[in-house]
Structure 1
């Protein structure tokens, strides 16, 4: 990450941190973020306030830099931030499209039906949903994974609000911990990898600290989950044609993105966009072969007198890639644009330079990175991590891994600290709340502290410059 625009206007930025424009920009960003944090109560999508805030901040910056005769500097800064966002937007869009395609092909519904139909007791389901959340989130991202597991919990735990509450807390911790050791598990880890700060393989050094971060609070909370059998609620779900092959193409897409970054030293987003072509060609194949496939299956169903199969075949619709693109989490993507542009504006004003000077020069970087994790629980990890990357402090790979870990799992301390927590408060409305999560914060903090200590001990050699 380079900070050329800031270097060019260092003296001007220094003045702007104590100017009316600087104070106004900070106030606008804080107000916008307070509105974001109140999303659950206001029923206002989180992208709206930050998009507005970003526009107002850059209007003020444009006027100030025009008055100073340095419009080219403001333009260079905004183009730099737009490029950062564009790379992440396209990367996330492809990943979300694949997840949406697998969802449309009933891959996740099949997994959900299998868990429900097995007749597990509440404590077994608590562990099963948590462990699956931990291992699925590194591939499918923590938000999607948390929502998937929450859907299972809400079905099997109907009428048992205590189980739903504890299981949701467990899922949030597991999804965030699982997302911390993979570049694909969270937007924060993706940002660090895309910026070229850490190679792909280094993230897996956080695997054991992430396991500890999840297991300690999960074990303590599990003692309060009853071993009672839920009411049986079995339903037949069938995988749609091509579901497993789409999952294989997603793995191939990830491998392509990693290869572009690792072997060709090109942005991984190019590999992801190539992976979108894989899905488009496969979608073309599915559409072209649909009539013959339906005719064959219909003949088999008639021969076997299978009325359910005939009814199911009658509702089959062709696979459409662009329909899947439209199902991407556009509110999250636009929210991320607002955050990138707001933080980029504050960086141009000189505020991130001041914070970096205090936290990463006057403090020990280890303590600074631990504080970043705590801040991510209050503010949300996306703006916090983007601010750290924009500051670009000189740190060892061990410290970059530490801030990746703390920003990822620190969001579990509060329900508002991560996208998965906020989403589950909406999905399990009234049964999983801010206050019900807050009661378990000391237990979650034990996992947070233990994961940091394990990383400091286990990966001690990575802290040398």
Structure 2
């Protein structure tokens, strides 16, 4: 692998990557979808790699580098395609609407709802993902918080922190944890070692904010929503798909993405029977078109992952990640490096950061890999723009939840971050 860190192609690639990332950060201002600049940047960076290697007489080696990254992205893409399709199907079957209606009809006070929505966000994000969970809980907060802007603000902050924390201790809760699992750095059950640190990460700021939540009670609301036929079957098959993916990796030593694709087959067959029964009974609600749920996948997000993974991978081929690894992990040590990387995820998306760490592949203990999984998963909670959950809720809640309203409580979330790291270092000391 050539060292291109001081080569004109390498320097130009860094400029291209930074320019693309600036456009990603200001997506709300420019209205340029985030996938477009990073896809362009990825293509240009690899073109410069090809030119530099060809001029140096090593052009035949670039294919192997690119093929390795294509394999990594392909596994991630297929896994996410199936997971998102199941989530879309549950939404189409009105599963999330039923959950929201039940929560709205409980008649709890603001403080009770604050605790309940946060706790549910923490639990559900480990099964679904932090973005979907935050949006579902956000609709509950907005439905009941029309009379109290303060409740909306604090409830949204709690949900963002809880969603990110809950997604950190399972391979399915966040893209970064999925990447760590697929890379083989941690086994499926290993992630649960950071359950307690993840819980502390939410409980500390939630406990502080609890006393700022209004003590009143929202006006009771009654909303009747009926799930479409087959909803329970979809949920059961989703759970079975997760079991299949884990079994493929742990027992058959096959990529978990293959297990997820088998799970997509489960859904397709279930949709076939629902469609047949719906046509026989003339019940349109029973009909499930699984292909239409695949079409609803957020392609902007999947293509953004493509651009980021290939752009960062290209910078790694040029030697920049080896340089960063030397500065962080060799000079500072893995503990401080992992804490810093996690804190950076509040400003820089955690996906390129985690992919960079996995590409650097520093020599770390089991406990250190758990630490970077924890910090990269929860560090983005310190700013509203630090995670997909925060960005999505800002768009959903508008004036009720903003960058500045979140920033006022960053100190409390930061205390949770420090407490989570301390808890991990204490309870999982034997893994270091």
Equivalent in the alignment of 1:83 = 71
Aligned-partner Cα distance in 2 for 1:445–1:46: 28
Q: For 1:408, which of 351, 354, 377 is the aligned residue? A: 377
* Alignment TM-score, normalising by the size of structure 1: 0.91
1:127 aligns with 2:96: no
Give deviations 1:142-174, integer Å, cap 9, x for gaps: 011011111111111124322111111111000
Deviation at 1:117, TM superposition (A): 1.3
1:380 aligns with 2:349: yes
Q: Is the 8 A contact 2:20 2:38 kept in 1?
A: yes
Which one is further off, 225-234 or 366-375?
225-234
* Alignment TM-score, normalising by the size of structure 2: 0.98
Aligned-partner Cα distance in 1 for 2:314–2:346: 23
Give deviations 1:312-342, integer Å, cap 9, x for gaps: x6x6362011111111121111110010010
SS in 2 for 1:430: helix
Deviation at 1:231, TM superposition (A): 2.3
Aligned-partner Cα distance in 1 for 2:100–2:32: 30
Which one is further off, 222-231 or 240-249?
222-231
Q: Is the 8 A contact 2:230 2:286 kept in 1?
A: no
Deviation at 1:359, TM superposition (A): 1.1
Gaps of 5+ in 1: 1-8, 295-312
Gaps of 5+ in 2: none
1:426 aligns with 2:426: no
Q: Is the 8 A contact 1:40 1:422 kept in 2?
A: no
Aligned-partner Cα distance in 2 for 1:23–1:149: 44
Q: Is the 8 A contact 2:325 2:362 kept in 1?
A: yes
SS in 1 for 2:346: helix
Q: For 2:53, which of 48, 65, 81 is the aligned residue? A: 65
Number of residue pairs the alignment of both structures matches? 432
Q: For 1:439, which of 401, 408, 417 is the aligned residue? A: 408
Equivalent in the alignment of 1:343 = 312
Equivalent in the alignment of 1:273 = 261
1:448 aligns with 2:412: no
1:183 aligns with 2:171: yes
Bigger Rg, structure 1 or 2: 1
Matches within 5 A, 1:45-194: 45-194=33-182
Structure 1 segments of 4+ aligned residues over 3 angstroms from their partners = 291-294
Aligned-partner Cα distance in 1 for 2:243–2:285: 31
Q: Is the 8 A contact 2:277 2:286 kept in 1?
A: no
Aligned-partner Cα distance in 1 for 2:400–2:40: 32
1:224 aligns with 2:212: yes
Equivalent in the alignment of 2:15 = 27
1:458 aligns with 2:403: no
Equivalent in the alignment of 1:212 = 200
Deviation at 1:78, TM superposition (A): 1.2
Which one is further off, 197-206 or 359-368?
359-368
Aligned-partner Cα distance in 2 for 1:181–1:293: 44
1:255 aligns with 2:255: no
Which one is further off, 344-353 or 62-71?
62-71
Q: Is the 8 A contact 2:279 2:287 kept in 1?
A: no
